[in-house]
Structure 1
């Protein structure tokens, strides 16, 4: 069980707002609802937002295709720290075909680790941001979803655009910019501190992802 109020067998992604191609906004409102409904801690301190991309802006993800693979420019998920040490960390991914939520270990094995060798430029990088910070600092006016003529590439959510507490209207690009050169060399105490305190969190590679969550207290 994730909490006493909801576990992986009783949850349904249909309970949460979802607009195709707007995964960053989907996760923003997902974090809020998990906290408001008592599924997560009321301050969201057990939730983490994870951006997945790379320098080529092409990240592999599980899909409905026959081979189960698709390349997206980026993707965003929510990871919930296990409530107790004997409970798994959970991944909340509104676009996944896996159970919702899924244990982090299962998600990594099924979605992140490829069954074939990826070229180095397609190796995924993960930006881990503490949800309480993300909810205060993230902003998107959806400009990235308009073509040069100002028309929507994909229909936007019906909700108002997200404005950060400091009045910033758009900073999605800051979260999406990732380079393997900026990935931490190892998971140290200062790495964990940065996850919990820095606006843009930290960048890790796929072999470090589970390690980070195993060490965050």
Structure 2
């Protein structure tokens, strides 16, 4: 009996408005249950944002519009790319109303909608971080989810905050600070190597995203 996307996605921890933590535990579960490589080497964590912290994405469950569009300050998803073979590149987005997971090409077409003309302040940039690096170094004490008086903007998960292996307690801001001048100019072997070695990965624009993942598989 086939499992629906909704049933499947419900197997993963999901706290609204804590997408970075949701993806952290999603990666761990995909590795643990054999869907991904045990070390997460076929997984990439993708931070989507820009200088203005205004990025439109479609088919988001938090939207109140029929087309599911919402203006996030940033968003985080996981992209899986098996090396070799003809396996499709998959996007794992627990906040999306699209099939879970979705092939990258359809996710880009439906969620990012590159054909939709946007004002420059709404251009989306993508920080690609290799999951094994992310799982070692990411940390968040959730300070970004408190207002100036210390109250929660959105209720946090019940589990303890994520602490990095080097005992860092908060570096989320380093991952979500994305600007146009950080964009890599060429997608090639050097860029792929940088993703595998740099704590903060590499930054690219939406036109480079699919090209990058097509080259990762080679």
Counterpart of 1:23? 19
Aligned residues of 1:8 and 1:101 also touching (Cα < 8 A): no
Q: Are the equivalent residues in 1 in contact too, given 2:9–2:94 (CA < 8 A)? A: yes
1:51 matched to 2:47:
yes
Q: TM-score, normalised by structure 2?
A: 0.92
| Root-mean-square deviation (Å) | 1.8
Report deviation, 1:159.
1.1
Q: Residue 114 of structure 1: CA displacement? A: 4.6
Q: Which runs of 5+ in 2 are unaligned?
A: none
Distance 1:9 1:87, change over 3 A: farther
Residue 116 of structure 1 and its aligned partner are, at CA, apart by 3.1
Question: Aligned ranges for residues 76-115 of structure 1 at < 5 Å?
Answer: 76-82=76-82, 84-114=84-114
Q: Determine the C-alpha separation between the residues in 2 that align with 1:87 and 1:110.
A: 20
Aligned equivalents of 2:144 and 2:5: distance in 1? 36
Instruction: Give the 5 Å matches for 1:66-77.
Output: 66-77=66-77
TM-score of the two chains, using structure 1 as the length reference = 0.93
1:135 match: secondary structure: helix
Given the superposition, is the C-alpha separation of residues 173 and 58 from structure 1 closer, same or farther in structure 2, using an over 3 Å criterion? Answer: same
Structure 1 pair 146–46 and aligned structure 2 pair: CA distance change class (3 A)? same
CA contact (8 A) 1:55 1:122 kept: no
2:141 matched residue in structure 1: 141
Count of matched residue positions in the alignment of Structure 1 and Structure 2: 212
Displacement, 1:11? 6.6
Q: 2:30 aligns with which of 12, 27, 34?
A: 34
Q: Which runs of 5+ in 1 are unaligned?
A: 1-5
Encode CA deviations 1:93-132: one digit per residue, 9 max, x unaligned: 0000000000001100100125531111210000000000
- Displaced runs of 4+ in structure 1, greater than 3 A? 6-11
Q: Which residue pairs with 1:119 in the alignment? A: 119
Alignment-derived partner of residue 193 in structure 2 = 193
**In 2: Cα distance, 1:72 partner to 1:211 partner:** 24
